[in-house]
């Protein structure tokens, strides 16, 4: 990966709450919240070719999801905290070690950052999405990750995927996407290059 190529983008990040109007797991009979979309081989939109998207919310007002198989770059987490002007905490910045990978979450609002993570971690504002997976949009989670207090598994994503009313339904009817159950090991796993191929081979639970 291209080391630290994304830090210029990260510097503009304002990690806030989850998207206004998006309520992960909103209940409706046909909701795809908590499911996974797998781009079919004939996907006409180049932005979504060979993508795996974890769906956060889906209702009559539209849909919101995050691409989980497109890493952008990896660099020191200490440098990330510095660019975001985040105080590393009582341990001191010199003790922050390790690296973090920045992922492409989708084409909408590329300056927005969100953390998709295992549900063994929660702070104020953390939103459970499906079994084993939660979403946090506060900078506190980055500080906790830096000091080993964060979730067991996590993805830092920039941008998201958004659909208007009935837009996603039309794409599914056209054959652009296959829908599978969300496996936390696959969604939060680090074998990004193989995620799409595994699901294309049928290594998932299709509905």
**145 assigned to some structural domain:** yes
The two structure tokens encoding residue 50 = 């060979």
More confident residue, 115 or 83: 115
Strand, coil or helix: what is 206? strand
Q: Please tell me the distance from the alpha carbon of residue 189 to that of residue 117, in angstroms, as a whole number.
A: 10
Query: Residue 95: which domain range?
Result: 7-200
**205 assigned to some structural domain:** no
Of 96, 115, 128, the C-alpha closest to 10 is 115
**195 assigned to some structural domain:** yes
> What's the average model confidence in pLDDT over 141-155?
93
Q: What is the residue-averaged pLDDT of the chain?
A: 83
Where b means 16+ CB within 10 Å and e means fewer, 69-95 reads bbbbbbbbbbbbbebbebebbeeeeee
CATH of the domain at 126: 3.40.1740.10
Query: What are the CA-CA distances from residue 146 to residues 4, 17, 107 (Å)?
Result: 16, 20, 27
Q: What are phi and psi of 79, to 5 degrees?
A: -65, -35
Of 76, 149, 83, the C-alpha closest to 117 is 149
pLDDT digits (tens, 9 = 90+) for 5-56: 333 333 334 434 334 334 343 334 479 999 999 999 999 999 999 999 999 9
Please give the pLDDT value at position 30: 72
The two structure tokens encoding residue 36 = 């996974």
- Do 141 and 150 meet the contact criterion of CB atoms below 8 Å apart? yes
> What's the average model confidence in pLDDT over 182-204?
87
**2 assigned to some structural domain:** no
pLDDT digits (tens, 9 = 90+) for 114-136: 999 999 999 999 999 999 999 99
pTM of the model as a whole: 0.82
Please give the pLDDT value at position 26: 37
**176 assigned to some structural domain:** yes
Instruction: Give residue 195's Cα distance to chain centre.
Output: 14
Please give the pLDDT value at position 19: 40
Q: Please tell me the distance from the alpha carbon of residue 207 to that of residue 204, in angstroms, as a whole number.
A: 10
Nearest-5° Cα angle at 4, 70 to 154: 50
The total domain count for the chain is 1
More confident residue, 168 or 26: 168
């Amino acid at each position: 990966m291209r080391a630290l190529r994304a830090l210029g983008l990260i510097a503009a990040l304002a990690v806030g709450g989850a998207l206004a109007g998006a309520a992960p797991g909103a209940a409706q009979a046909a909701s795809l919240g908590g499911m996974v979309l797998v781009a079919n081989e004939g996907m006409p939109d180049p932005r979504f070719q060979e993508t795996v998207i974890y769906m956060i919310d889906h209702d009559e007002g539209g849909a919101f999801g995050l691409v989980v198989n497109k890493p952008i770059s990896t660099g020191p987490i200490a440098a990330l905290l510095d660019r975001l002007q985040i105080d590393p905490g009582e341990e001191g910045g010199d003790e922050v070690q390790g690296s973090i990978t920045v992922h492409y979450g989708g084409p909408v609002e590329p300056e927005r950052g969100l953390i998709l993570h295992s549900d063994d971690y929660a702070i104020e504002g953390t939103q459970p999405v499906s079994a084993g997976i939660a979403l946090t949009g506060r900078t506190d989670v980055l500080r906790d990750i830096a000091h080993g207090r964060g979730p067991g598994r996590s993805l830092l994503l920039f941008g998201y995927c958004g659909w208007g009313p009935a837009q996603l339904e039309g794409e599914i009817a056209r054959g652009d996407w296959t829908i599978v159950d969300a496996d936390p090991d696959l969604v939060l796993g680090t074998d990004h290059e193989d995620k799409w191929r595994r699901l294309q081979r049928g290594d998932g639970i299709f509905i």
